[in-house]
Amino acid sequence: MAKVNTVLGEISDNELGVTLMHEHLVFAYLGWECDALAPPYDREAAFTACVEALKEAKNYGLKTLVDATATDMGRDIELQKMVSDKLGINIICATGFYTEKFGKAGYFKFRSQSYDITAELCETLVKEITQGIGDTGVKAGVIKVATGHARISSYEEKMLKAAARAQKETGVPIITHTEAGTMGPEQADLLVSEGVDPKRVAIGHMCGNSDLNYHLSVLEKGVNIAFDRLGIGVIFPDRLRIACLIALLGIGYTDRILLSQDCFAYRMGRPYEFSDEVKSLLANWTYVHVFKNIIPALKEAGVSEDKINTLMVGNPRRLFGGE
Ligand SMILES: [Zn+2]
């Protein structure tokens, strides 16, 4: 039996239950705090928004939420604890880093002129997993890494190598961000070539295209893939995502696919208003879309209850080291 770090302590893999593998409570592009006209972060408001939005997901049977917010994306550990405690769902907190373009690479990039930052990035990951994050007492349960569009930068390559080493040292799984679904096979190759067990890797945002050849080329590396932006119609239409899912489930990949929505309930910084057209494309982008719309669509296409259970319970559990 595998042990899993949650924000309220260690649990067994068999306690994970129905799991959303890639969501956020709050989200920030760092740098927002330099915006003199941005309202300050309001944790109470974030807490209310998260509880309100996640209550419905709990009613659909949600037991565990993986908060994929890396160290440089506005991660709020105290909030994660508050929400987990209030709703009685497990929250698994991530350690790791966002893309060079949108994260906070500057510090490590500066140090890379004189120091081995692969080692330093790895030390950060291992510290947050084994000793805890700051003085919160919370240990990270998953490693998050990210690469930019159609290219893995030198910084991102070091980040992936650090993640691979930390994975092998601590046993926690790696989940990734790919930009528009690009660089999936390259991420998998890099991690596997560093000795990571591919079964402990989930290549993320693979639902950014409907190219089955591409999906298979990632799956052939032995890793899991995540359709974890379901509902974000502004990136790619759900109809085609569902068609791909049905195809992949139909040819034997049920035990290698994870479903999630990449939602958040509160954004730091100035309000960000979408146009009416974008709003309509994001109408289903909620924490319950998988339960409310995706699973029924799969069932309608003949996907069995058993397979749904594998997607929502079995696969997350195996990714975390369960049998
Ligand atoms: Zn995300």
Is residue 160 within 8 Å of 147, Cβ to Cβ? yes
Residue 142's SS3 state is: strand
**Four-residue CA torsion sign, 26, 102, 276, 238:** negative
Within 13 Å of residue 11, how many CA atoms lie on the same side as its CB? 18
Tokens of 132: 């805890």
Determine the distance separating the centroid of ligand 1 and the alpha carbon of 281, expressed in angstroms: 18
Determine the distance separating the centroid of ligand 1 and the alpha carbon of 229, expressed in angstroms: 8
Element (H, E) at 64: strand 64-67
Determine the distance separating the centroid of ligand 1 and the alpha carbon of 43, expressed in angstroms: 20
Predicted confidence at residue 259, as pLDDT, reads 98
Number of H helices, E strands in the chain: 13, 12
Is residue 167 within 8 Å of 173, Cβ to Cβ? yes
**19-23 vs 64-67, strand pairing mode:** parallel
Going from N- to C-terminal start, the domains of the chain cover: 3-319
The whole-angstrom separation of Cα 137 and Cα 233 is: 38
Partners of residue 245 on adjacent β-strands: none
The whole-angstrom separation of Cα 109 and Cα 253 is: 39
Mean pLDDT over 301-316 rounds to 98
Measured in degrees and rounded to the nearest 5, phi and psi for residue 228 equal -120, 20
Is residue 257 within 8 Å of 245, Cβ to Cβ? yes
pLDDT band at 323 (very low <50, low <70, confident <90, very high): confident
Predicted confidence at residue 162, as pLDDT, reads 98
Residue 16 clears pLDDT 90, i.e. is over it? yes
Determine the distance separating the centroid of ligand 1 and the alpha carbon of 262, expressed in angstroms: 5
Predicted confidence at residue 167, as pLDDT, reads 98
Determine the distance separating the centroid of ligand 1 and the alpha carbon of 36, expressed in angstroms: 26
Determine the distance separating the centroid of ligand 1 and the alpha carbon of 21, expressed in angstroms: 10
Task: Name the residue among 52, 30, 50 with its Cα closest to residue 42.
Answer: 50
**Four-residue CA torsion sign, 280, 281, 285, 290:** positive
Predicted confidence at residue 282, as pLDDT, reads 95
Predicted confidence at residue 181, as pLDDT, reads 83
- Which residues, in sequence order, are CB contacts of 40 under 8 Å at separation 6+? none
The whole-angstrom separation of Cα 215 and Cα 257 is: 11
Mean pLDDT over 9-28 rounds to 98
Is residue 87 within 8 Å of 58, Cβ to Cβ? yes
* Global confidence as pTM: 0.97
Determine the distance separating the centroid of ligand 1 and the alpha carbon of 143, expressed in angstroms: 13
Is residue 293 within 8 Å of 268, Cβ to Cβ? no
Is residue 286 within 8 Å of 53, Cβ to Cβ? yes
Determine the distance separating the centroid of ligand 1 and the alpha carbon of 259, expressed in angstroms: 13
Determine the distance separating the centroid of ligand 1 and the alpha carbon of 44, expressed in angstroms: 22
Is residue 96 within 8 Å of 144, Cβ to Cβ? yes
Residue 180 clears pLDDT 90, i.e. is over it? no
Residue 177: how many other CB atoms lie within 10 Å: 27
Tokens of 56: 């419905």
Determine the distance separating the centroid of ligand 1 and the alpha carbon of 207, expressed in angstroms: 13
Residue 21 clears pLDDT 90, i.e. is over it? yes
Residue 97 clears pLDDT 90, i.e. is over it? yes
Domain 3-319 has CATH 3.20.20.140: yes
Residue 240 clears pLDDT 90, i.e. is over it? yes
Determine the distance separating the centroid of ligand 1 and the alpha carbon of 138, expressed in angstroms: 20
Q: Measured between alpha carbons, how far is residue 122 from residues 73, 109, 203, 204 in Å?
A: 18, 15, 19, 21
Q: Give the tens place of pLDDT for each residue, 251-303.
A: 999 999 999 999 999 999 999 999 999 999 999 999 999 999 999 999 999 99
Residue 76 clears pLDDT 90, i.e. is over it? yes
Which DSSP letter does residue 42 get?
-
How high does pLDDT run on average in the chain? Answer: 97
Determine the distance separating the centroid of ligand 1 and the alpha carbon of 27, expressed in angstroms: 9
Is residue 106 within 8 Å of 133, Cβ to Cβ? no
Q: Give the tens place of pLDDT for each residue, 195-221.
A: 999 999 999 999 999 999 999 999 999
